[in-house]
Structure 1
Amino acid sequence: MCKKNFSFSRWIEYLEKLEKKNEINLIKVKNIAEKLNLLSLKSFFFTIGGTNGKGTTCAMLEQLLLDAGYQVGLYTSPHLLNFIERVKINGSYLTEIQYVSAFINIDSVKSDYSLSYFEFITLTALLLFKQYSLDVIILEVGLGGRLDATNIIDSNISLITNIGLDHTSILGSNRFSIAREKAGIFRRNKIAVIGEKNPPDSIYQEAQKSKTILKIVNKDWYWEKYSNTWNLIHSNIKLYNLPVPQIPLPNAAIALSALFYSNLKINKETLKNSILKVQLQGRFQIISYFPRIILDVAHNSNASLYLAKKIDQIDTQGKIYSIFGVCKDKDILSIIAPLKDKVYSWYVSALPTTRTATIKQLKNILPIHNTFFFNSIYNAWNNLKKILTKKDIVLVFGSFITVSEFIAIKNKQIK
């Protein structure tokens, strides 16, 4: 297949069809990276893993570094609306032409070796970073850590935000196994900053094997919240009366803590403003107030529990409705459990992906009372909006795909 004349959209279509490999071999991915001179980048690397909060931690770290005057590259996943959201250079997205050029370059070097979708796009991100003189590169782990494509990079500092049950069919059925996989990003004699308050023993075991220096929340660094401020107590610095961010505080705290462990210089005068700037699409994002429409990509039990706590902080005068869609590999019962008694009525949809939980599956799991099923997010929304009052709340959650579909629908309606 000749791909040199592929358009950007054709390339994305091709990449999305790449087969998942039963056996992951990062050695071959690393060999391709070496051919492209991607392993000799002089930037300072942060690699961020964890069950939840990776994206917001990356966003906070990026903002702090940009405001401190550094040249910063950011690689995150998944995207919400457009593939180009995955890579940012100094806070800006790149062009489709730049991506196509990188795709062609990687395809010409990989020879007969078959890359997975995530391996291909991770190499793409690194190749794009290579074209700029970046001081710092931030990599978000896609899945797990040990066998994730981002792990071909020997990062200067690794972060693990937290450890919960997700992707259990791949990472293991308990926190011990999952933590061991996530600890695969640890590096010899380098610092790993841990935001999990109760790390499984496997974290300590893997750190001992790799001679990694652990910096664990509530042991080596601390954060404490008050009504309108918070403090960060750290071996390198003590910060008081910080503004409460728009993202979850634990994620802001681990980003800030990791930055100070890096010894990269930061202007403490601008730090407070940086904290207030950070927000991320699809993370308790309120896009309307009458009725209040909240978007959240909560797709596991930890994330939905946090979402439930945020809902409790809202002065609710009307009913709470949910537009919900989820992938079949998720523990759906644990996702809906924290919100089951808060949501008055569920508008449930299948998603436009082969990974979707089907209507039949969802009917066997979700509450029968006040639950309605649809074949698309579009139909779910069109039926729900007919009965909404200005005092009601609409909670759109369950998957990145659920949120992205809803955003696309609302954008079309605005136009």
Structure 2
Amino acid sequence: MINQNCSLSMWLKKLEKIGEKKTSDLILLKSIAKKLDLLDCKAFIFTVTGTNGKGTTCAMLERLLLKEGYQVGLYTSPHLFNYRERVRINGLLLDETEHITAFKSIELARKSFILTYFEFITLAALHLFRNYSLDIIILEVGLGGRLDATNIIDSDISIITNIAIDHSNVLGKTRESIAREKSGIFRKDTISVIGEINIPDIIKKNAIKTHTILKKINVDWHWKKKNDYWNFFHSNIELYKLPLTQIPLSNAAIALAALYYSGFKIHEDIVRRCISSVKLPGRFQIISTTPYIILDVAHNPHAASYLSNKLEEMNIKGKIYAVIGILKDKDIIGIINELKNNVHYWFTAPLQNIRTANKKQLKNTFPIHNTSIFNNINEAYNHAFSMVKKEDIILVFGSFLTISELFFDKIYE
């Protein structure tokens, strides 16, 4: 048992150690959640999964629902700088004391049963939500879907943003196997909104098996980008000349689709006024323009492809200096290939995490002629910064850990 008088940071360190070698067990998790009366949520539940874009989709859902006056709880992961980022109530972070109180309750209920870090904090988030009168809860899946801790809760609307290769050591090495895991969030007689254009067959099969109702992009709902605006079409709803968003349009569109399918009243004027202001730190976040310094948490080829397109849209005259720290289980070569035509120089280093790619792995995967390898990511960044001119770009990416490790919270917007 953990000492009940621990600070939040002490709790988190102990939780990481307790369940670090345990695999997920949803049956056990459900039994503890039932004991704590966490399964019977009175709120409407959105569950969001996908390879990329989960966080921005959740952010769009949250913003529009809050602007309409609903009481909204959000559980998201991972965090950038502070654990408290993972749970928001009506758009606000909670005090450390509230998190600690929830942790104490979970610790007492689990008794001798071992929970993974993510299982424990998911139960804690649900415990926090129970303390508030919420109309809606938005749950971002941590990994996959079928065996994820968030899947102990039955959602009213399921969302799959997209399907690409990532976490292959856990989810499988094919889009079919990954889609099988993500479609594990489907529920009987509920709507599942799919933003993936090339839908694997297993999703259709699982929809039939679970009696879920698929609402597919380009079939049931549509969006189209024009030069400086976009249009959205959904059943009998047609929205023309919407303002462009700071998050990927695909994620804004699937959030809109899910909201309209949910039955919640979303006024058009709210949509038009709010969607362009939704943003998340670390998602193509520009923190300087002379030179450009861009932060992005892209950590797989699918996200790197989007990042490449965003860079090309900027039409920058200077050179791009990429500062990258990355985990060893990622498709490093695939990420590099997506950005090799954009980046002029690579500055890379191991991260302060046991899963990091080490110097040898970095040397074996990055281009020989324009790569410098450093002891840590701060050294890599400082060296890149010493070389750039005003017209150049420093691109910091590769992992949430890369950005948080560089202590950019000092300039966090």
TM-score (norm 1): 0.97
Deviates more, 1:18-27 or 1:134-143: 18-27
Q: CA deviation at 1:411?
A: 1.9
- Higher mean alpha-carbon deviation, 231-240 vs 360-369, is at 231-240
Pairwise CA distance, 1:20: 3.7
Matching residue of 1:253: 253
Does 1:196 pair with 2:199?
A: no
Aligned to 1:312: 312
| Superposition deviation, residue 2 in structure 1 | 4.5
1:313 partner letter: E
- Partner residue in 2 for 1:289: 289
Q: How does 1:135-174 map to 2 (within 5 A)?
A: 135-174=135-174
Q: What is the rounded CA distance, in whole Å, between the counterparts of 1:79 and 1:411 in structure 2?
A: 16
Q: Does 1:86 align with 2:104?
A: no
2:266 maps to what in 1?
Answer: 266
Does the 8 Å CA contact 1:47/1:139 hold for their aligned counterparts?
A: yes
RMSD of equivalent CA atoms? 1.2
Q: 2:327 matched to which residue of 1?
A: 327
SS in 2 for 1:182: helix
Whole-Å separation in 2 of the counterparts to 1:9 and 1:383:
32
The residue that corresponds to 1:411 in the other structure is 410
Cα deviations by residue, 1:172-206 (Å, 9 ceiling, x for unpaired): 11001100100000000100000000110000011
Match of 2:107 in 1: 107
Consecutive unaligned residues of structure 1, counting only runs of 5 or more, are none
Q: Cα deviation per residue 1:225-254 (whole Å; 9 max; x = unaligned)?
A: 111111111114221111111100000000
Give the match for residue 69 of structure 1: 69
State the 1:319 CA deviation.
Answer: 1.2
In structure 2, give the amino acid aligned to 1:48: V
The percentage of aligned residue pairs carrying the same residue is 57
Corresponding residue of 2:374: 374
Runs of 4+ in structure 1 over 4 Å off: none
Structure 1 Cα separation of the partners of residues 83 and 18 of structure 2: 16
1:321 Cα deviation from its structure 2 partner: 0.2
- Would the alpha carbon gap of residues 192 and 265 (structure 1) be closer, same or farther in structure 2, given more than 3 Å must change? same
1:87, CA displacement in angstroms? Answer: 0.4
CA distance in 1, matches of 2:321, 2:409: 17
Per the TM alignment, residue 22 of structure 1 is displaced from its structure 2 partner at its CA by 5.2
Aligned counterpart, 2:349: 349
> In 2, Cα distance between the equivalents of 1:114 and 1:338?
40
Deviates more, 1:348-357 or 1:32-41: 32-41
**1:218 aligned partner:** 218
Between the aligned partners of 2:404 and 2:336, the Cα distance in structure 1 is 19
8 Å Cα contact 1:236/1:261 also seen in 2: no
The answer to whether the 8 Å contact 2:55/2:76 transfers is yes
Q: Which residue of 1 aligns with 2:27?
A: 27
- What per-residue deviation string (whole Å, max 9, x for no partner) do you get for residues 363-392 of structure 1? 000001121111211111222222121111
Preserved CA contact (<8 Å) 2:30 2:152: yes
Distance in 2, matches of 1:120 and 1:262, equals 29
Decide whether the 8 Å contact of 1:293 with 1:396 is kept in 2.
yes
How far off its partner does 1:21 sit?
4.8
How many pairs were matched up? 412
Q: 1:2 to 1:343 in 2, by over 3 A?
A: closer
Given that residues 22 and 116 in structure 2 are in contact (C-alpha distance below 8 angstroms), is that contact kept between their aligned partners in structure 1? no
Matches within 5 A, 1:391-410: 391-406=391-406, 408-409=407-408
Please identify, of 238-247 and 253-262, the stretch whose mean Cα deviation from structure 2 is larger.
238-247
Q: 1:317 to 1:131 in 2, by over 3 A?
A: same
CA contact under 8 A between 1:325 and 1:348: conserved in structure 2? Answer: yes
Q: Determine if contact 2:328/2:358 at 8 Å carries over to the other structure.
A: yes
Task: Assess if the C-alpha contact under 8 Å between 1:54 and 1:161 holds in 2.
Answer: yes
For the 8 Å contact 1:33–1:123, the answer to whether it is kept is: yes
Measured in 2, the distance between the counterparts of 1:12 and 1:364 equals 34
Letter aligned with residue 352 of structure 2? P
Task: Give, in whole Å, the separation in 1 of the partners of 2:154 and 2:68.
Answer: 24
Retained in 2: the 8 A contact 1:283–1:297?
A: yes
Deviates more, 1:16-25 or 1:127-136: 16-25
Distance (whole Å) between structure 2 residues aligned to residue 56 and residue 177 of structure 1: 24
For 1:101-147, what per-residue CA distance to the aligned partner results, in whole angstroms no more than 9, with x for missing partners?
11011000011110000000100110000000000000000000000
